[in-house]
Structure 1
């Protein structure tokens, strides 16, 4: 049996690609992949069924895993091409692993034989490149689809595949999306617009790819060209108007363009189609957060004009309640959704439900496997909560320092430093030579050497992380 295992461990397939190198949320992954099956091309469906088979195995449902592999095979039945033969070798390798875990030794050998027969056909160039291209493409697609944190590895796979076929439309789309995902809004170490020309080229090669179009629209928006971005967003929306994954990004574009009613409408439709998506509920909460900010500005203007603010107060309260509802739903469907938990604590604080807010901050602090970025975000938001909601300056300073001392170049660290400077100056304005203010300034001056001056020009904090994709 050990000899058999050593043979299947040499296979190139989902069981040997280290997709499960961290805690994942299988129900969320399976739900998202099942939704994508309805809208993506036949070749993508074959790949999605392979991933679903692996996810089913992880859920210990080996029979369901076998059924998904059968569906993957069915996607290839109509055409007999070299590409399809290369795709089959991955399906057969997955079969071998599934039957190994089901203790069906005879079937394991059967599929090992099928893998060997196909491999022999691709031993010499140029057919060897066909097999390599499919292996790199499938592995990259699987890494990208399984978890967003695999994006760097997926990008590497796509680059190797592109060396073999530069003009492949689907591959160019996948490569552009991988690079886009690596350009998270909160990290300062990567070029923010490396994906822009890649998305443009992918859109030219594959004009029917609506996901590429919607991401290109967001990149135009990043570059302060919302008019051009809106053209791509509307084209994508016409192409797949009921694709929840796409609607999520459309809603994000509308929200950032201050089109809050449109954003809420689109995201509400997406949650109707996919009610268990934690990310859709999270995006809806961001819309209500933006609505709260707008209503508060309007209320201040009305107050200056000695007009009634009662209507604004009622609408703010409704928006807070809606945001809390969607964030509670998001955290219900994903127990380790850090961004959603922190946003929920923020909203509890706004609703003066301080005990609930305190509980969430401590809950997140005790979560396993928090990234450095997540820790910074936690301590920054906790500090702001303590300062502005609890009026506890000492606790706020403690958490600001925790955020700053994590040496990870993100917007959260930048804002913690900026807030510390503002707080110290405020303290010293009120009480000259105050020890707390002086100590805080000394702390910031010590830390400033680790932050380029050009990184200190923030003006707004957009807590809108898509790193959980």
Structure 2
């Protein structure tokens, strides 16, 4: 029995489906993903089969294998009804997932039967392996699965859509997926796409060439145009999208973001509350509403009849309520909402709660590097401004700088460190720790000679410090190696 199971597992590992693509259980907030997929199924008319497939994967990881089977039966039914002409191309992923679920249930004969079905289907594709075919439909499904799972997968998702488009360049679905992947990568500083949103803008325009009524592409393009100060075209696209799809949740939410960034809080709030009526559990909408209330909180009151303190207290509670609604279902993935909540608590003088939140956030593992840097930055600023020990703030800022991600938060960590070190040296020109901090900053920035200069000053003032001596040794050896190999890349 074990031998049969092991042999079957070897075959299953060769499949292209959610069980071999997505980061596994430890890297995904399964409850959050399940909620988002169930929401997509409720609202999405076009691609329910895709959501059912990924939901089957999530249910299986959670031990709900019977529900997973039902999800896959629904996916197969939808594909037969909506894609009769290309059913065999689109069923490959579903049958792969079905084989895996049967395997997890111990139904090895049933799992083998789905492998046999895949083998028969794959025989019609010239470049296929025994059990799978890397055709546009499979690349496209993989791309969307990776976009749904975690931000660490966006780069791979982009490559999947590129592969799909090589063989099917006019496919609207894959073009939109490619544009979405580019757009999300642009959010993360330090990626090749992050300098300017030119690539995603071009790709969203390509989607609208193929489908002039693609309203989601309209609003996403509008947000990119707004970022580049092309506001007139952006506003026209948003108005057109809302006219064509007034009740489409994704159109509503991105249009609201556009108006918020434009400074029209009232219009943004109207749209967000309308969206919340359609999708009451949307973490995105709750967060955006919280951001709007925060904007009002930080703006001067224009209602003299409403006492300022009473209005402030009301806005603080509204901010906290909506930020909490945003992050409670997504504690591992919606880090920004938690930091926003902590900032509001800070404004309200709730220092103990803020400290506890930062301590909990610092313990999280498996989160995006940019989020880690944001946590370090905020924790450092809290230590610096409220708790007062500069040494604790320095530790947080240095840890933020050490994370390999060139984000805005990393720059702010660096700026704060520089300010602290220079202030310490103004107070005491023989502060070895300040020189040590500057040396480590230079080292992290790749400025080796400046780093050596500062570590030498630190070491002169504190000659027994092993950390400074070790850093000097490492830097001098590194410079010697660079000089010995001048053409080293």
Interval of TM-score (by shorter of Structure 1 and Structure 2): 0.7 to 0.9
**Greater relative contact order (CA < 8 Å, ≥ 6 in sequence):** 1
Query: CA, structure 1 residues 366+146, in 2 after alignment: closer, same or farther (shift >3 Å)?
Result: closer
Q: Judge which range, 378-387 or 85-94, deviates more.
A: 378-387
> Residue 271 of structure 1: CA displacement?
2.9
Query: CA, structure 1 residues 348+56, in 2 after alignment: closer, same or farther (shift >3 Å)?
Result: same
Conserved? CA contact 1:188–1:410, under 8 Å: no
Q: Judge which range, 319-328 or 353-362, deviates more.
A: 319-328
Partner of 1:238: 243
Partner of 2:166: 163
Which segments of structure 1 move beyond 6 Å, counting only runs of 4 or more? 436-439
The C-alpha deviation readout for 1:75-99, integer Å capped at 9, x for no partner, is 1233665522111232222222222
Partner of 1:92: 95
| Structure 2 Cα separation of the partners of residues 278 and 103 of structure 1 | 37
Query: CA, structure 1 residues 5+401, in 2 after alignment: closer, same or farther (shift >3 Å)?
Result: closer
Query: Gaps spanning 5+ residues in structure 2: where?
Result: 448-489
Conserved? CA contact 1:139–1:157, under 8 Å: yes
The C-alpha deviation readout for 1:318-369, integer Å capped at 9, x for no partner, is 2222111122222321222322222222111110111111111111112223
The C-alpha deviation readout for 1:370-395, integer Å capped at 9, x for no partner, is 44322321222123233444555554
Conserved? CA contact 2:127–2:133, under 8 Å: no
Conserved? CA contact 2:219–2:238, under 8 Å: yes
Partner of 1:463: none
Say if 2:353 is the partner of 1:362.
no
1:23-422 equivalent positions in 2, closer than 5 A:
23-42=27-46, 44-78=47-81, 81-123=84-126, 132-184=135-187, 186-187=189-190, 190-193=194-197, 194-295=199-300, 311-336=307-332, 337-390=334-387, 393=390, 395-422=392-419
Partner of 1:3: 7
| Structure 1 Cα separation of the partners of residues 441 and 229 of structure 2 | 32
> Residue 396 of structure 1: CA displacement?
3.8
**How many residue pairs align between the two structures?**
438
> Residue 185 of structure 1: CA displacement?
5.1
Q: CA RMSD in A?
A: 3.2
Secondary structure (helix, strand or coil) at the match of 2:405 reads coil
Conserved? CA contact 1:376–1:406, under 8 Å: yes
The C-alpha deviation readout for 1:258-300, integer Å capped at 9, x for no partner, is 112222222233333333333322222222222222237x79x
Partner of 1:467: none
State TM-score, norm by structure 2: 0.80
State TM-score, norm by structure 1: 0.83
Query: CA, structure 1 residues 393+78, in 2 after alignment: closer, same or farther (shift >3 Å)?
Result: closer
Query: Gaps spanning 5+ residues in structure 1: where?
Result: 300-307, 454-469
Q: Judge which range, 438-447 or 356-365, deviates more.
A: 438-447
Q: Judge which range, 316-325 or 158-167, deviates more.
A: 316-325
> Residue 397 of structure 1: CA displacement?
4.2
| Structure 1 Cα separation of the partners of residues 294 and 442 of structure 2 | 32
